[in-house]
């Protein structure tokens, strides 16, 4: 086993396209889609911008780039969904979830629900910290990506 695998159902809006499987063997993601849906997915993914890596290309000394692929696209969707579920589960408890400037994530547990006053007071005291409480799902994903956590 190479890493964490997944089985997922792929949707476009409310339309079920099929299933995708990463068996964690180090091989490619398996797509169980109709040929039309697979072609549409591939066309969409090819229209996305190149992926900038966190490491440098040894030939250029600049950040390496990858062409987007259906494998990478679906894996990223699954990872984002997993991270969102983890955060929402934490936030159901009387907890504040915070990201520090340098990208460290920590949670502060309270004995009672985290209300607006607690959040406001915290943000006044620590204006450089990013607080997840009160964000929509899309805002949480955007915050994770902007802090390099997704």
pLDDT digits (tens, 9 = 90+) for 10-31: 988 888 999 999 998 888 899 9
Check residue 150 and give its pLDDT: 66
Pick from 77, 109, 105, 82: nearest CA to 93: 109
Joined tokens for residue 101: 């400037």
Asked if 24 contacts 2 with a C-beta cutoff of 8 angstroms, the reply is yes
Average pLDDT over every residue of 65-85:
91
Q: Looking at the predicted structure, is the pLDDT value of residue 1 above 50? A: no
Q: What is the predicted pLDDT for the residue at 145? A: 83
Give this prediction's pTM.
0.75
CA separation for the pair 38, 41 (Å, rounded): 5
pLDDT for 96? 82
- 3-state SS class at 11: strand
pLDDT at residue 98 in the model: 81
Q: Is the pLDDT of residue 2 over 60?
A: no
CA separation for the pair 87, 145 (Å, rounded): 14
pLDDT band at 53 (very low <50, low <70, confident <90, very high): confident
């Amino acid at each position: 086993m190479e890493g964490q695998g997944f089985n997922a159902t792929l949707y476009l809006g409310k339309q079920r396209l099929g299933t995708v499987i990463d068996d964690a063997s180090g091989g490619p993601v398996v797509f169980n889609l109709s040929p039309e849906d697979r072609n549409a997915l591939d066309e969409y993914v090819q229209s996305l911008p190149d992926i900038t890596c966190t490491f440098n290309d040894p030939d250029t000394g600049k950040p390496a780039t990858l062409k987007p692929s259906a494998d990478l696209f679906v894996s990223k969707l699954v990872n984002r969904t997993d991270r969102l579920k983890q955060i929402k589960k934490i936030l159901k408890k009387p907890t504040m979830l915070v990201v520090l400037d340098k990208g460290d994530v920590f949670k502060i547990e309270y004995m009672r629900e985290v209300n607006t006053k607690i959040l406001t007071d915290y943000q006044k005291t620590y204006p450089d910290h990013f607080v997840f409480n009160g964000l929509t799902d899309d805002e949480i994903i955007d915050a994770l990506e902007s802090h390099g956590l997704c």
